[in-house]
Structure 1
Amino acid sequence: MTHSERQPRPDIAEHLAEAIFNGHYEPGDFVPKELDLCENYGVSRSTVRSALQTLVAAGMIKRISGQGSRVTELSEWHLLNPRVSDWMARFARPNPRFQREIFSFRVAVEPFMARLAAENAGAADLLDLETAYHGMVEALNRDDNQYQGISYDEYDIAFHEAIFAATHNVLWSQVSHMLKPAIALLVGTTNQSADELDDSMERHRRLMDAIRLRQPEEAEKAALSVLERTGRDLGMDDPTGQLSVIRWPQALSLPESRNSEC
């Protein structure tokens, strides 16, 4: 067995992404120069350049001729890129700005998703929603917060994914897949710090029932109620009221009739 076979090549891009997400390198900071990275990781310059280009493509750093690679502002990061969102979920330190940005997006989008789900959910969608809810309840009743090997947080994420899927819109379903790591970051933070999980579960139940009973307006209100609980667990005052919530059906002039088709 050769030395290269015994020692897997380090993922330099991931190591640098971890350092950026955990705040070791802040926006405006320069990451180590190419030659320093070559020496630190024992790899060729072409390997280092490939890793840096991965971060450039992710919008996280910018190469500046004669100076090096500087971390860009958060607004330039491609957070919906699956690899970047995975890094964020695994490496981001508790960061109020990340939390607020994710929460703001959810407040703007999820009430509309709940409305669409109430209009379009089929039997299989309702089963997925109820299964996730049941898993949350059962996990809460166990000391390790797990049920059938799945954690409460994972059931919570599955619950919200089921709502996106129940819209029966391919693009919205894909958005939920792209956002899963980001939502997981927020869910993990809030559920670990929430003092009133029983209240949260009651809000989730009302949302599920509104979708099951095909009550779009009630589903929208219930989704906002769930998010209000999330915001309070994050320490926000008047979490839904202080954000500019987009009323998607009115803004997009969507028809209110159920299952309307073009």
Structure 2
Amino acid sequence: MFNIWQLDAKSRGHQYVKDKTRKTASRPSVAEALAEAIFSGHYQPGDFVPKELALCEQFAINRSAVRSDLRQLVDVGIIERISGHGSKVREHAEWNILDPLVTEWMTRYASPNPQLQREILAFRLDVEPYVAMTAAKRATAKDLVALEEAFEGMGQHLRTAPASGEPGTKARLHSDFDVAFHAAIFKATHNIVWAQLSHILRPSIYLLVSMSNVSEADDPAESLERHRHLMESIRARQPREAFLAAQDVLGGTARALGIEPGESALGREFDWAKPAQHPTS
């Protein structure tokens, strides 16, 4: 039987909450260990995870504790309990990937998953160009400062080697500022829903950003220039240019990940001949 505690820590993916202090558990977390095994690919949709009694024995905890932890995975749509058979991993489409717990697991443990990457990218392609367009109309001086600081951070960690010498530190810091750049655009819309959505989407954005930034398929300098064009379009209050620049940034992400980006539904339908309207509540 596969021991879900034997996963190599180096294969756990890019950690989004790097320095987050986690509560010391009074017992091993079956939910955490199973999440790691599922997101890292040891269990695929349709696979059954170990039965309750096996988990009780492996973790040296009682059945009630095991059931409580399995319930966490059931509640977020990752597994389903089938009477008389056990617990089966559900299809990716059934996972509540925007649930904070799921997104944290995904960014800490997920191995490259083309289907999830494609779904996240497709969503971003339909949302972020519109967000950038809105930010170009509403951004304040404070918003532009936040955007520029994030951009400068991206450039700094692109040009300089990490002082600590820790492998991956440079790419990780670059990714942190890259995510902050996109979050600043959401906030610059001055729409409370978009701003809150940036917090929900942040781990999913980080998942794509961190993987694309370490890809050999994308030139970091070209990526930085695409971000610069997006920032300058927002600064110059050019909604159309901001929309197209956001599409270009995401197109670069798609190329770096080897994903066919497709065409944004919003991009197909938006009529630039008409004056842009502010979103209504």
- TM-score normalised by the chain length of structure 1: 0.88
Deviations 1:128-164 (A, max 9, x none): 10000011111111112868xx811100000000011
Q: 2 CA distance for matches of 1:249 and 1:28? A: 36
**Deviation of the 1:100 alpha carbon:** 1.2
Q: 1:175 pairs with 190, 197, 209, which one?
A: 197
1:36 aligned to 2:58? no
Q: 2 CA distance for matches of 1:216 and 1:249? A: 16
Q: 1:233 pairs with 249, 256, 270, which one?
A: 256
Matched letter for residue 181 of structure 2: F
Asked whether the equivalents of residues 136 and 234 of structure 2 are also in contact (C-alpha less than 8 Å), the reply is: yes
Q: Tell me the secondary structure at the aligned position of residue 69 of structure 1.
A: strand
Q: 2 CA distance for matches of 1:256 and 1:38? A: 63
| Residue of structure 1 equivalent to 2:174 | 152
| Residue of structure 1 equivalent to 2:3 | none
1:247 aligned to 2:269? no
| Residue of structure 1 equivalent to 2:226 | 203
**Deviation of the 1:180 alpha carbon:** 1.1
Q: 2 CA distance for matches of 1:7 and 1:181? A: 24
Q: CA RMSD, aligned part only?
A: 2.3
The percent of aligned pairs where both chains have the same amino acid is: 50
Inter-CA distance 248–226: structure 2 relative to 1 (3 Å threshold): closer
Q: 1 CA distance for matches of 2:98 and 2:279? A: 29
Q: 2 CA distance for matches of 1:230 and 1:7? A: 38
Q: 2:97 pairs with 79, 89, 110, which one?
A: 79
Matched letter for residue 173 of structure 2: S
Asked whether the equivalents of residues 92 and 116 of structure 2 are also in contact (C-alpha less than 8 Å), the reply is: no
Matched letter for residue 84 of structure 2: G
Q: 1:91 pairs with 109, 116, 121, which one?
A: 109
| Residue of structure 2 equivalent to 1:14 | 32
Inter-CA distance 81–167: structure 2 relative to 1 (3 Å threshold): same
1:216 aligned to 2:235? no
| Residue-pair matches, total | 249
The ranges of structure 1 where at least 4 consecutive aligned residues each deviate by more than 2 angstroms after the TM superposition are 144-147, 248-251, 255-262
Q: 2 CA distance for matches of 1:248 and 1:57? A: 35
Q: 2 CA distance for matches of 1:258 and 1:130? A: 26
Q: For structure 1, which runs of at least 5 residues remain unmatched after alignment?
A: 1-5
Deviations 1:49-70 (A, max 9, x none): 1001000001001111111111
- TM-score normalised by the chain length of structure 2: 0.83
Q: Tell me the secondary structure at the aligned position of residue 88 of structure 1.
A: helix
Q: Tell me the secondary structure at the aligned position of residue 247 of structure 1.
A: helix
Asked whether the equivalents of residues 37 and 48 of structure 1 are also in contact (C-alpha less than 8 Å), the reply is: yes
Deviations 1:198-221 (A, max 9, x none): 111111111000101110000001
